[in-house]
Structure 1
Amino acid sequence: MRHQRRHVPSDRGSWRSRLAGRCAAVTVRPLSAVVPVSGAGVWVSRQIVARSLAVLGPALPGVEVRRVPGRGEWMGRGEGGVVLYLHGSAYMLASARTHRGLTSRLSVMTGLPVFAVDYRLAPEHVFPAAADDVRAAYEWLVRQGFERIVVAGDSAGGHLAVDLALQLRREGRPGPAALVLFSPLVDLTLRQAMRRERERRDPMISAVRARRLVELYTSAADPGDPRLAFTFGPDDLLPPTLIQAGGAEMLAADAEYLAGLIRSSGGECELEIWPDQMHVFQAMPVLVPEAGPALARAASFVRTHLGSSRLEEVS
């Protein structure tokens, strides 16, 4: 049984990342509190997320994008395996397109193709629609001949990644070679996050507000459903897992909680809490200097578990 917390380059975040956190606390967090969680408010939120990521984490030029209608899109090319990427944003706000900055960098750094899933979004589609689409995408990759698949995801995509790995394990099916999770959402009741917020306010959104967004996906489901509320039995061994979270975000608590669950089942987990970083800081390289080094660590982890040493760092 191994549970490792890896040291990060500094005990403090860069001045730019700390300044970004302060700015988010007086702009993003108040805005997130007033946009309605329905109808036009959902549309507005989707536009804000799409435009923000396009500016703060644009796609790398020259990386090939290939759309697969009804499933998602390929980013880049390569050999030796594939990364299946699951975007986050509360099951309702983002898409494969909004995350091209992150997926293009992962493709270049790993030398692998990345397939980003366009799963159905809440509130139009509720649980288990997103999880079912992720499972379908994984099985589609297997049918394409991919035998070594790393599943990566951020925020709600992290929850979807763990659900997929657990379902495959419990069915006795071949699972991912590894998991890479950025700021994973694990406790959908947000209780872990609420406890964290009593110690340090998240600069981007409150735990109460985040729970209201997540409930648009889960409200019709049994909250005790094992696909929503994870429990790990002695046979629920996940593949080697890397978890990265920001020290300034409330979901650092979920990252630590998930690492504990993985450890309790005998799994291998590397946990990195990057000081003073916000939620999914890896997606904001224009704003946050630590985004590049964090993604480089993730790329190295991917290649290690696919049996290759290739690694290229990009800004």
Structure 2
Amino acid sequence: MVIQKVAEAELRPVPRRPSPRARLAALLTAVGVRLFASALPLNRVGVWFMRRLVATFMGLFGPPLRGTRVTPVRQGTVVGEWVCGPGVQRGNAAIFYLHGSGFVICSARTHRGLASRLSHLTGLPVFTVDYRLAPEYPFPAAADDIEQSYRWLLAEGVDAGQVVVAGDSAGGHLALDLVLENARTQTPQPAGVVLFSPLIDLTFARAQAQERIRRDPMISAAAARKLIALYTAGQPDDAPRLQLAHRAGTVLPPFFVQAGGAEMLSADARHLHQMVRDGGGSCELEVWPGQMHVFQALPLLIPEAGLALRRAAAFVADVMTRSANTADKVS
């Protein structure tokens, strides 16, 4: 499989200010979505409604590319789908994608559009895990599903050194948990990790501090914390796989992190960046001015989404090429 490299001409720098459409999207989100998300009860009906609403929103503003092929997977506890963008074939390299939305709302299907664009830009198939959701399946269901799915992927013949783990929001927490578990169990690590608006601090302490500086247009820290509590119910905040820490001496793959400057989880992105670097690891951080949570998933709404994904794709090509070159030298 030939990994596509993004042309240098397409890799413009991170813009210094948001586009007018991005500013308008943030304003409309603050007027509509934030008020609704804060008021909706987190009972059975409320969760059902949120799932349908987000699925509709993602489908409207981030649909799959035309020509995308989707292959469902259901093997024991491993559930998900292979997404191949136009012209992309499966081989021994892949992106392993972990969707977000608070461990409660989204699915492989809602993120099919984002997966198709990553596949198209990188030339790689994307396996999106349909992990079990809370409140039906609280912690550690999602984390366990991710770990088992990653090991299944390797057993299927995909080389760990030719895998990039990617994720957004709560998927960022699951991704960090996975590579920390890989280090603990001496499981082969992926070539790299790409995260969009990662949620790291499940107490939302950092997000609340950021919220006092600038209000997130999508949801309040208090409302988001209640959503996450559906997953963490009955667990102490300092449970080892909930309060994640990268300690010096733990070898992790290189990270590439993007966050929006208008979102409260920009604080989590900065925290992750500092934590990985303090532990001796490599982490590139991009905070996009004026952008909201996981703007990369909404290319029909936010013009900067395409450039952000191209920059992420360039990182994927770079770490996979370096991993392949290292493997060649060893052999």
Give the alignment of 1:106-255 within 5 angstroms.
106-147=118-159, 148-255=162-269
Partner of residue 111, structure 2: 99
Matched-pair contact (CA < 8 Å) for 1:8–1:273: no
Task: From the two aligned structures, give the one with the greater helix fraction.
Answer: 2
Match of 1:57 among 54, 59, 62: 62
Q: 1:133 and 1:265 mapped to 2: Cα distance?
A: 27
Specify every segment of 5 or more residues in structure 2 that has no aligned partner in the other structure, as ranges.
1-10, 323-331
Partner of residue 96, structure 2: 84
Matched-pair contact (CA < 8 Å) for 1:223–1:229: yes
Of 218-227 and 98-107, deviating more is: 218-227
Partner of residue 3, structure 1: none
Matched-pair contact (CA < 8 Å) for 1:85–1:116: yes
Q: Output one character per residue of 1:25-71: Cα deviation in whole Å (capped at 9) or x when no partner.
A: 10000000111111100000000010000001001110110001251
Matched-pair contact (CA < 8 Å) for 2:277–2:283: yes
Scaled by the length of structure 1, the TM-score of the pair is 0.94
Specify every segment of 5 or more residues in structure 1 that has no aligned partner in the other structure, as ranges.
1-5, 309-315
Matched-pair contact (CA < 8 Å) for 1:79–1:111: no
Note the C-alpha offset of 1:225: 1.4
SS of match in other structure, 1:297: helix
Q: 2:14 and 2:275 mapped to 1: Cα distance?
A: 26
Partner of residue 312, structure 1: none
Match of 1:75 among 65, 71, 83: 83
Matched-pair contact (CA < 8 Å) for 2:172–2:200: yes
Note the C-alpha offset of 1:220: 1.7
Q: Percent identity?
A: 53
Matched-pair contact (CA < 8 Å) for 1:263–1:269: yes
Q: 2:269 and 2:207 mapped to 1: Cα distance?
A: 10
Q: 2:234 and 2:270 mapped to 1: Cα distance?
A: 28
Matched-pair contact (CA < 8 Å) for 2:14–2:286: no
Matched-pair contact (CA < 8 Å) for 1:7–1:272: no
What's the Cα RMSD here? 1.3
SS of match in other structure, 2:213: coil
Matched, 1:39 2:51: no
Q: 1:62 and 1:50 mapped to 2: Cα distance?
A: 21
Scaled by the length of structure 2, the TM-score of the pair is 0.89
Note the C-alpha offset of 1:222: 2.5
The residue type paired with residue 302 of structure 1 is V
SS of match in other structure, 1:307: helix
Q: 2:26 and 2:229 mapped to 1: Cα distance?
A: 26
Matched, 1:280 2:294: yes
SS of match in other structure, 2:29: helix
Q: Output one character per residue of 1:57-96: Cα deviation in whole Å (capped at 9) or x when no partner.
A: 0011101100012510000134451100000000010000
